[in-house]
């Protein structure tokens, strides 16, 4: 539009309008979003199917894209919690039930054994997108729970999960198997781009850090049992300290005030002075009194 290419602008506006209509109509399955459509119009990811009734990617991105209404976003993520999460094993399936006999074939993922990689395994990219969607909806406890389920360090330290996992505790797995007899077994490691997504999710979604040139803001979504977080950011040779705490952390609030921390509202943009260190305090609503149970 800035270049005066009005024909291209109008073409993409019409395309976006059509996509929004499709999302509002045939893409919605009543409680969640379908994953895709075959060339003949057969849907993939619908409640009437025997296989792949629901898929994680479509639900997470209904939130991350902002394309769905708030009501449908929450419905889609509630369906994820109901159908795709195995709380006992700490796993997030990419889809369920796994593909075996679907006609037409869903492609190469149908060639994997059930519960392996994209065929119903915990596929780490999609798991991280779920985490980010939970944080975007303000579910700090849910986002943290998903983080621990994806984290190789947490899984390797878990007394009931580490033996089956059988991978390095310091390397993100591309996938984790979800079907017997290999429930919880780590798949491919050392190569997955989901490691970078996991880092982004922790910094940008949970801690809420956003950086735009010389300006930053924090929109944290923390688990309720964390007393506080201290984030250190170095820019232009100067270190900036951000303390994030809940409103009932009275001792910490007093310490921050004594240290001269400048109050910063969640979502407020602040310009970082070049070469000058900064000290900021972000206060969130009151946290829960007790931490959640072990995940």
One digit per residue, the tens of pLDDT, for the chain of length 295 reads 889 899 999 999 999 999 999 999 999 999 999 999 999 999 999 999 999 999 999 999 999 999 999 999 999 999 999 999 999 999 999 999 999 999 999 999 999 999 999 999 999 999 999 999 999 999 999 999 999 999 999 999 999 999 999 999 999 999 999 999 999 999 999 989 999 999 999 999 999 999 999 899 999 999 999 988 999 999 888 899 999 988 877 677 777 777 788 888 999 999 987 778 888 999 888 654 444 443 3
Q: Are residues 221 and 252 in the same domain?
A: yes
Q: Is residue 295 part of a domain?
A: no
* Residue 120 and residue 226 share a domain: no
The total domain count for the chain is 2
At which of 146, 173, 206 does a domain end?
Answer: 206
37 within a domain of the structure (yes/no): yes
Residue 1 lies in a domain: no
Parent domain of 254: 213-284
Pairwise CA distance, residues 295 & 293, whole Å: 6
Q: Considering the domain boundaries, does residue 128 fall inside one?
A: yes
CA 129, CA 236: separation in Å to the nearest integer? 31
249 belongs to a structural domain = yes
In this structure, what token pair is assigned to residue 65? 């894209």
For residues 136 and 240, membership in a common domain is answered with no
Of 181, 206, 231, which residue constitutes the final position of a domain? 206
- Candidates 124, 121, 133; CA nearest to 76 is 133
Predicted TM-score (pTM) of this structure: 0.92
Asked if the structure places residue 22 within a domain, the reply is: yes
The reply to whether 289 falls in a domain is: no
Q: Any idea what the CATH number is for the domain that residue 68 is in?
A: 1.50.10.10
Nearest by Cα to 227 from 205, 256, 269:
256
**Looking at 174, 206, 238, which one is the last position of a domain?**
206
- Are 249 and 228 contacting, i.e. CB atoms less than 8 angstroms apart? yes
175 and 157 inside one domain? yes
């Amino acid at each position: 539009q800035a270049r005066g290419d009005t024909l291209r602008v109008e073409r993409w506006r019409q395309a976006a309008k059509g996509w929004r209509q499709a999302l509002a109509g045939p893409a919605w399955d009543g409680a969640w979003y379908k994953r895709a459509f075959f060339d003949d119009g057969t849907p993939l990811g619908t409640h009437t199917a025997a296989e792949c009734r629901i898929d994680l990617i479509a639900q997470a991105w209904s939130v991350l894209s902002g394309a769905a209404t708030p009501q449908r976003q929450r419905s889609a993520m509630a369906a994820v919690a109901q159908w795709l999460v195995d709380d006992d094993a700490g796993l997030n399936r990419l889809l369920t039930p796994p593909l075996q006999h679907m006609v037409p074939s869903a492609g190469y993922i149908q060639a994997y054994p059930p519960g392996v990689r994209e065929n119903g395994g915990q596929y780490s990219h999609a798991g991280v997108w779920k985490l980010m969607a939970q944080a975007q909806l303000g579910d700090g406890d849910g986002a943290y729970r998903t983080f621990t389920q994806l984290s190789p360090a947490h899984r390797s330290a878990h007394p009931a999960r580490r033996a089956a996992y059988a991978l390095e505790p310091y390397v993100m797995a591309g996938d984790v198997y979800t079907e017997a007899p290999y429930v919880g077994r780590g798949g491919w490691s050392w190569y997955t781009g989901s490691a970078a997504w996991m880092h982004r999710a922790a910094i940008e979604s949970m801690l809420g850090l956003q950086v735009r040139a010389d300006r930053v803001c924090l929109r944290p979504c923390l688990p309720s049992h964390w007393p506080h977080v201290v984030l250190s950011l170095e820019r232009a040779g100067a270190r900036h300290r951000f303390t994030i705490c809940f409103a009932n952390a009275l001792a910490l609030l007093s310490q921050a005030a004594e240290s001269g921390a400048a109050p910063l509202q969640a979502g407020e943009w602040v310009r970082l002075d070049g070469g000058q260190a900064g000290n900021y305090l972000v206060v969130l609503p009151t946290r829960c009194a007790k931490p959640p149970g072990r995940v």
